[in-house]
Structure 1
Amino acid sequence: MTSFRSTLDKLVTDGLAGVPTDRDALMEVMASGDEHLLDVVVAAARLRRHHFANRVKLNYLVNLKSGLCPEDCGYCSQRLGSTADVLKYSWLKPQQAATAAAAGIDAGAVRVCLVASGRGPSDRDIDRVGDIVEAIRDRAPGVEVCACLGLLADGQADRLADTGVDAYNHNLNTSDRRYGTICTTHDFADRVDTVDRAKSAGLSPCSGLIAGMGETDADIVDVLMELRRIGSASVPVNFLIPFEGTPLAGTWDLTPQRCLRILAAARFACPGVEVRVGAGREVHLRSLQPLALHVANSIFLGDYLTSEGQAGKADLAMIADNGFVLEGAEDTEADASTAGARTELVRPRKRGAGTALAPNT
């Protein structure tokens, strides 16, 4: 126990000093027993508090184009050959997307994530995103916009930057060693290349992982080390939702405790970077979700691309109940006192029902 506490102390000391994290130390965190879980969370929380105080950043997804993707990523409900019961529709019109985004922005989201299924955008798709960004900014001039459109070709990252997009998301998902087991239509290097293109164009690079796909501790640590190497400014940590109709259906390998260790390893690997709790937190972290806020500083509000999330009202209550405030609030006291009012602005809907707009509209 004393030895492991020394490892945690060194991880914190190195993180505060900007010293790159030792891979062996991350492996120790991943291999630690449940009896050490609170020690791991407390150590990671020291880094989280140092860099982000008591603020939580809210992000909101808008699914611009859903289903019928030609890629065969095994985890995805929109993949080639998927029989998952999800919405399928072509591009939303700019005002539809802006209306969808407004639901999250009104509830406190400071970043809107615009996502479209497919291998990568066409030039026409880039134009569509530009029109959508303009419509969103007409209503909310200061909101951050992150695009997630797949693999980028020459010049496309620059064009997205010119449209006013602030960030680009393209997750590495798992280690290079394992990537071929979850996808055959593109490889790990393709994903790294797209993140590099986004970064070179001045877009904030957003790249993370999906846990729960049968990976080892070493795979988790390796992808985290690569995310640090490529300079990801935002690291979403997603937990597999094993959709029926996909190759990974029925894969339930995660426990709440393992999820917390993965989040803590992400914080230790990337101490001053935005670590976001992504999809699957509700079904895998379950009652331990509040502890995740003491490690990560960012969450998605409400629903995800093709699955329901926790109700936005519950998300905002969880943040307030744990002593956190929303990033972007004008002052801490006002943010805490109006949390109850904000929660009424977000109402989740059933996936596959009603209009083909983004969640909570």
Structure 2
Amino acid sequence: MKTIAAGTDWQLYARKALNGERLTMEEGLSVLEADDDEVLPILQAAYQVRKHFYGKKVKLNMIINAKSGLCPEDCGYCSQSIVSTAPIEKYALLDKETLLEGAREALARKAGTYCIVASGRGPTDKELDQVIEAVREIRATMPLKICACLGILKDSQAERLAEAGVHRYNHNLNTSRVNYPSITTTHTYDQRVETVEKVKAHGMSPCSGVIIGMGETNREIVEMAYALRDLDADSIPVNFLNAIPGTPLEQAGRTPPMKALKVLALFRFICPSKEIRVAGGREVNLRSLQPLSLYAANSIFVGDYLTTAGQDVSADHQIIEDLGFEIELNAL
């Protein structure tokens, strides 16, 4: 049953965020359980925080699926998992020229960050060599920030990626600690935390986020936001499950658009200064309300995701223009 939160001073939440104070669990739940009539006041308060730290800038990111399928992990949401029967394309790590072509496409789409993502538990030494070779050439020739997402890292691998010039490393927590065993059993929540800590220790910017819609409770959503605040993740992709036929979660329902907006506002209140990215599944969960997401979030992916399609890039550019916002370009 929803809490009817009419009359709640959402601007108080904005003031707490701007003062560096963390929302209480009860306050966090009040955002998620507010009546839908409260969504616009909630977003208006979240926008005060977003505007303070990011103005009207929107950061664009582009993903390349650098290695598809062939993954031994049993993540229930993923079409590339060993337990998935989804009919996806499967291939080994792309060669350097293809990765460079992807970087050039990212620039064409006005993305400031190029995300090299590879399926698997973690990279082999050979795969790491291939990624590093491409990263060095991209860094030498293009004004792009590079984010790598290659799975669980060893210390030596994190060190090599940092030395090669990788700006950011993504390793999502995905869900709450308590819900994690119901989603994945081949590795642990703590292993994900450890990888993010290694990334930080070697000087790369930590990127870690969540997937909403995998059976978690509202209390667990607040706990996820707390965990990422405590982890000091610089960039937080908030994904909304796009249930893929052939995966264990194929029957999961979609997150209602108004609920998705409340989630994004919650993350802005709890992690006020961080890049909040409305990420995978935004098109099928937020649908026509996608533009409103940018009053809380300040970042999006443009183009396709790993094995699912995004909307046309021109539509994303049009949303940003129509809102009176502007794309943030790198000053490298």
Whole-Å separation in 2 of the counterparts to 1:122 and 1:211: 30
Residue 58 of structure 2 is matched in structure 1 by: 56
* Matching of residues 1-361 of structure 1 within 5 Å: 5-140=7-142, 142-328=143-329
More off after superposition, 101-110 vs 256-265: 101-110
SS in 1 for 2:155: coil
Runs of at least 5 residues in structure 2 that lack an aligned partner in the other structure: none
Whole-Å separation in 1 of the counterparts to 2:211 and 2:83: 20
| Contact kept in structure 2, 1:213 and 1:253, CA below 8 Å | no
| Contact kept in structure 2, 1:95 and 1:135, CA below 8 Å | no
Amino acid at match of 2:155: D
The count of residues paired between Structure 1 and Structure 2 equals 329
Amino acid at match of 2:178: R
Amino acid at match of 2:118: A
Whole-Å separation in 2 of the counterparts to 1:168 and 1:324: 27
Give CA deviations for 1:267-308 in whole Å, capped at 9, x if unaligned: 011001000010100000000000001110000011101110
After TM superposition, give the deviation of residue 8 of structure 1 in Å. 1.7
| Contact kept in structure 2, 1:94 and 1:135, CA below 8 Å | no
After TM superposition, give the deviation of residue 36 of structure 1 in Å. 0.7
After TM superposition, give the deviation of residue 138 of structure 1 in Å. 3.9
After TM superposition, give the deviation of residue 329 of structure 1 in Å. 7.1
| Contact kept in structure 2, 1:59 and 1:299, CA below 8 Å | yes
Amino acid at match of 1:132: A
| Contact kept in structure 1, 2:225 and 2:267, CA below 8 Å | yes
Whole-Å separation in 2 of the counterparts to 1:236 and 1:271: 14
Give CA deviations for 1:222-268 in whole Å, capped at 9, x if unaligned: 11100000100000000111111100002114100111011111101
TM-score normalised by the chain length of structure 2: 0.96
After TM superposition, give the deviation of residue 3 of structure 1 in Å. 6.8
| Contact kept in structure 1, 2:5 and 2:34, CA below 8 Å | no
Q: Identity across aligned pairs (percent)?
A: 46
| Contact kept in structure 2, 1:146 and 1:167, CA below 8 Å | yes
After TM superposition, give the deviation of residue 101 of structure 1 in Å. 1.9
